[in-house]
């Protein structure tokens, strides 16, 4: 599961979904939702 979360995180960052502290414009909720969507898409 950790590898899945790590992969989803890297994919999200590659998609340029980042919070302000990482140089982006997404809120923490938007960032988290993007990661969760990546995880869900790998489990289908």
What is the extent of the structural domain holding 11?
2-42
Question: What pLDDT score does 37 carry?
Answer: 98
| C-alpha to C-alpha distance for 11 and 8, rounded to whole angstroms | 5
Cross-strand bridge partners of residue 19: 26
Q: Provide the CB-side half-sphere exposure for 34 (13 A, CA).
A: 18
Q: List the pLDDT tens digit at each of the 44 positions of the chain.
A: 899 999 999 999 999 999 999 999 999 999 999 999 999 998 87
Q: Give burial (CB, 10 Å; 0-12/13-18/19+) of 14.
A: exposed
How many structural domains are present in the chain?
1
Which residue in this structure is represented by tokens 């809120």?
Answer: 27
């Amino acid at each position: 599961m950790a590898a899945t979360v790590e992969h989803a995180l890297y994919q999200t960052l590659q998609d340029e979904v980042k919070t302000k502290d990482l140089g982006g414009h997404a809120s923490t909720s938007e960032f988290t939702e993007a990661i969760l969507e990546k995880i869900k898409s790998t489990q289908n």
